[in-house]
Amino acid sequence: MNTERRYSIILERSAEVLLNNALMTQVEAFWDANDSRYFGLRIEDEHSAHARVMVTDELPEDDGE
C-alpha cells in the first residue's frame, strides 16, 4: 500500500489548480520552475494524505516603507 503524501498547488485568488495530486518531487520541480511567479506558500491539511499548497501571484507589499 502506497501511503506517500500527495499535494495540490492552488492559486488562492481564483482557486485554480496549478498542480494536482503530485508527489513532493513534482511540487519541488514546480516550485523551482515557478518561484518567481508565485508567492506566499502556505500548506493546508498538511497532516492528511493529500495536502493543499496555497500560493498567490500577487507580490506581497513591502513593509519597509
CA 50 to chain centre: 12
CA 41 to chain centre: 6
Note the pLDDT of residue 1: 53
Note the pLDDT of residue 61: 75
Blockwise average pLDDT, block size 10, the chain, 65 residues? 84 95 95 90 87 88 65
Note the pLDDT of residue 21: 96
**What's the pTM value of the predicted model, to 2 decimals?**
0.80
Query: Which whole-number Å values give the CA distances from 60 to 5, 57, 64, in the listed order?
Result: 29, 9, 12
